[in-house]
Amino acid sequence: MKKETLSKLMSLALRHKPQEIGIQLDHQGWTSLSDLHSAIQTKHPEVTVADIMNVVATCPKQRFAVDEEGQMIRANQGHSIKVDLALPIATPPERLFHGTASRFIESIRRDGLQARQRHHVHLTASRETAMTVGARRGTAYLLQIDAKQMHEDGYHFYLSENQVWLTDVVPAKYIIEL
């Protein structure tokens, strides 16, 4: 199986539909590496634990983490199912970015940024990353977020292990268009 295909299958299992391949996640999103491997092997017998570990190690977005004992695996962020990643509240940089598609802008101006199917709104400190994320959905449109003011106003931010800034919602008044 191609590495990208395996990575997508792991995202499906660890972020969205564990039941679809027959695994269970604990409340913090972890599952046993060997359970994940066995479940994947039912349909794809050629996949090895080393293949899974290779995705964990080389995925450019560092989407997955394995615990120190090398026994448990989870997705670092991006879940649609309910998990508590137990991330500490972090102080964001003054400005964060969100890349979206231009066709969403009117709605975002009105309603702010919402998590939609995911747990959190995803933000980044990097303009380039935001543009790449936005380009997935059409003509990329870059928004700048006044994270300093949000933080001062009591909104919580979390930094995932793979450096994605997460927050519950970004009300429209904190969005600065670029």
Binding residues for ligand HQG (CB under 6 A): 61, 63, 78, 100-101, 104, 107-108, 111, 113-114, 116-118, 122, 133, 137, 164
Q: Compare residues 49 and 175 and give the one whose CB is closer to ligand HQG.
A: 175
Distance of CA 64 to the CA centre of its chain: 10
Burial letters 101-124, b for 16+ CB under 10 A, else e: beeeeeebeeeebeeeebbbbbbb
Smallest distance, ligand HQG to C-beta of residue 45, A: 27
Smallest distance, ligand HQG to C-beta of residue 91, A: 20
Q: Compare residues 38 and 118 and give the one whose CB is closer to ligand HQG.
A: 118
What are the distances in angstroms from CA 9 to CA 134, 145, 156? 22, 32, 31
Smallest distance, ligand HQG to C-beta of residue 59, A: 9
Q: Answer yes or no: are the C-beta atoms of 130 and 101 closer than 8 Å.
A: no
Q: Compare residues 82 and 116 and give the one whose CB is closer to ligand HQG.
A: 116
Q: Compare residues 32 and 104 and give the one whose CB is closer to ligand HQG.
A: 104
Smallest distance, ligand HQG to C-beta of residue 82, A: 15
Secondary structure E strands in 17-156: 31-32, 64-66, 72-75, 95-101, 113-114, 121-123, 140-146
Q: Compare residues 16 and 38 and give the one whose CB is closer to ligand HQG.
A: 16
Burial of 75 (0-12, 13-18, 19+ CB in 10 A): buried
Residue nearest to ligand HQG (CB): 100
Q: Compare residues 41 and 102 and give the one whose CB is closer to ligand HQG.
A: 102
Which residues sit opposite 44 in a β-bridge?
none
Smallest distance, ligand HQG to C-beta of residue 80, A: 8
Smallest distance, ligand HQG to C-beta of residue 107, A: 3
